[in-house]
């Protein structure tokens, strides 16, 4: 049974997202779901279209920021929401698939607009065997 989950923590006017998983990649996937949950209910987003995303960075923390900002870019430019993610991390490189659909204002209850992932409260750590945390503050 997977321990993957996500949560939000208040941070002034912004929102801290936390992704938890049994691997670093799974924690990054859960952080992406937490990002989606700022904008809308992930359960209401169907997975009819897939987008490939790739990024790289010098370390795990910067890779998380790059990943989340790449998702924010794809959401904004494609006018899409995502609710399923498959992340692969190899060294300094991340490759992923994000499944979702175009925004439908009649069906999706839109919440807060996200501006970007920040370096505030940024951490990617293995808390214990098979338990990873990926967290940062999202500027809203």
Q: Which two tokens stand for residue 127?
A: 């808390």
Global pTM value: 0.92
Exposure string for 111-131, b = 16+ CB within 10 A, e = fewer: eeebeebbeeebebeeeeeee
Q: Going by DSSP bridges, is the β-strand pair 131-139/123-128 parallel, antiparallel, or unpaired?
A: antiparallel
Cα separation, 61 vs 59, whole angstroms: 6
Cα separation, 115 vs 85, whole angstroms: 20
May I ask the CATH architecture of the domain 5-139?
3-Layer(bab) Sandwich (3.55)
> For the chain, which residues make up each domain, given as ranges?
5-139
Per-residue pLDDT of the chain (140 residues; tens, 9 = 90+): 567 888 787 666 799 999 999 999 999 999 999 999 999 999 999 999 999 999 999 999 999 999 999 999 999 999 999 999 999 999 999 999 999 999 999 999 898 899 999 999 999 999 999 999 999 999 99
């Amino acid at each position: 049974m997977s321990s993957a989950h996500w949560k939000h923590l208040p941070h002034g006017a912004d929102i801290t997202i936390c992704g938890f998983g049994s691997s670093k990649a799974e924690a990054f996937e859960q952080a992406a779901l937490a990002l989606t949950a700022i904008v809308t209910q992930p359960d209401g987003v169907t997975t009819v279209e897939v987008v490939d995303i790739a990024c790289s960075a010098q370390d795990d923390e910067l890779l998380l920021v790059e990943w989340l900002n790449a998702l924010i870019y794809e959401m904004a430019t494609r006018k899409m929401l995502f609710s399923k993610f498959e992340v692969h991390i190899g060294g300094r490189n991340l490759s992923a698939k994000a499944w979702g659909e175009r925004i439908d204002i009649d069906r999706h209850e839109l919440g807060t607009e996200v501006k970007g992932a920040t370096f505030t409260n940024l951490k990617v750590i293995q808390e214990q065997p098979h338990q990873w945390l990926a967290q940062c503050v999202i500027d809203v």
